[in-house]
Structure 1
Amino acid sequence: MDTKHCISIALAVLLAFCSSRAACRIVYEKSAANSTVVGGEATAKFARIRNAKAELTINGFQRGGSGGGPSECDGRFHPDDTPVVALSTPWYAHGQRCFRSITIRGPNGNSATARVVDECDVSHAHCKPNIVDASKAVWEALKVPHNQWGLMAVTWSDD
């Protein structure tokens, strides 16, 4: 049996166990098209992202920071010296990227690895669908001068 056939069978089984058939069908179709393997607990992995164009913004993830409340993924605050990000709603994928690492590449050629801990909800005016909202540690890892912090065009990929 070839790999694509096995993936199709696994995804069909996944579809049978999903609580929302419409949502599962979308995941199934995207996964089958991208030959994505099935994850645990009857959930399909999201479509992996490579070199997505984004706007990097700055956010405070610690208590009292500009992020407001605790992070969506774990209900906790995170220190500014920890490389963490919030992804805009489409990329956050209903929390499927929680605690996963992403690689962010800046226009200066530097890159940084950060962990997804929060969603930048596009229902709020400041959050567009292409935002990677990053802690100070990410900006430092990208070696961006402090006077240029705030908004920068980047690309990012799932690790």
Structure 2
Amino acid sequence: MARDTYPHYHCSPPVIATTKAVLKLNKFEKGKDRGGPSECGNAYHSNEEMVVALSIGWFKNMAHCGHRIKVTASSKSVYAKVVDECDSIYGWDNDHNYEPRCSNNIVDAPQAVWNALGLDQNIGMKGITWSDE
């Protein structure tokens, strides 16, 4: 599929008590998957930090910055701080490390979150639920 034909998402599914999402493995360090620094605080984060990025509709123009969310996979839950958006509108440019746009249901997380949930990082994506805490 040509990069210009990928969908653009301006919204995400409604946030409910247990919102279904896809956990995507991503690196938040300088020069890695995320491209530039995080939207919240204009900083990079270690892959050992319990942080996440939410799809643009859930991120709500920085409204979730600094909030903790509960991420649940396979009956195990962890808490992580929202530090960035997973851009569902733009992509394929230097600001986004030439990565494609996110879907509207993504929670990006580094190794620390995957490890705490006991997930195999080799799969790269996993169905989860998340909630505001």
**TM bin (shorter chain):** 0.7 to 0.9
The CA RMSD measured in Å over matched residues stands at 1.5
Between Structure 1 and Structure 2, the one with more strand by share is 2
| Cα-to-partner distance string for 1:75-105 (whole Å, 9 max, x where unaligned) | 0000000011110011001101001000011
Q: Deviation of residue 48 (structure 1)?
A: 6.2
| Cα-to-partner distance string for 1:27-67 (whole Å, 9 max, x where unaligned) | xxxxxxxxxxxxxxxxxxxx964211001001111112211
What is the aligned-residue identity percentage? 42
Distance 1:155 1:146 in 2: 17
> Does the alignment pair 1:70 with 2:44?
no
Letter of the structure 2 residue corresponding to residue 153 of structure 1: G
> Does the alignment pair 1:142 with 2:117?
yes
Between structure 1 and structure 2, the one with the greater Rg is 1
Larger relative contact order (CA 8 Å, sep ≥ 6) = 2
Instruction: Map 1:61-100 onto structure 2 (within 5 A).
Output: 61-100=28-67
Aligned residues: 111
Distance 2:55 2:15 in 1: 15
Question: Could you state the TM-score of these two structures normalised by the residue count of structure 1?
Answer: 0.66
Residue 101 of structure 1 is aligned with which of 48, 59, 68? Answer: 68
| Cα-to-partner distance string for 1:87-132 (whole Å, 9 max, x where unaligned) | 00110011010010000110x2111110000001101343011000
Report runs of 4+ in structure 1 exceeding 3 Å deviation.
Answer: none
Distance 1:143 1:58 in 2: 13
Distance 1:119 1:110 in 2: 24
Question: Could you state the TM-score of these two structures normalised by the residue count of structure 2?
Answer: 0.78
User: Gapped runs of 5+ residues in structure 1?
Assistant: 1-46
Between Structure 1 and Structure 2, the one with more helix by share is 1
Instruction: Map 1:1-159 onto structure 2 (within 5 A).
Output: 49-106=16-73, 108-123=74-89, 124=91, 125-148=100-123, 150-159=124-133
Distance 2:61 2:16 in 1: 15
- Give the SS at the match of 1:140: helix
User: Gapped runs of 5+ residues in structure 2?
Assistant: 1-13, 92-99
Q: Deviation of residue 135 (structure 1)?
A: 1.1
- In the alignment, is the contact (CA less than 8 A) between 2:52 and 2:109 conserved in 1? yes
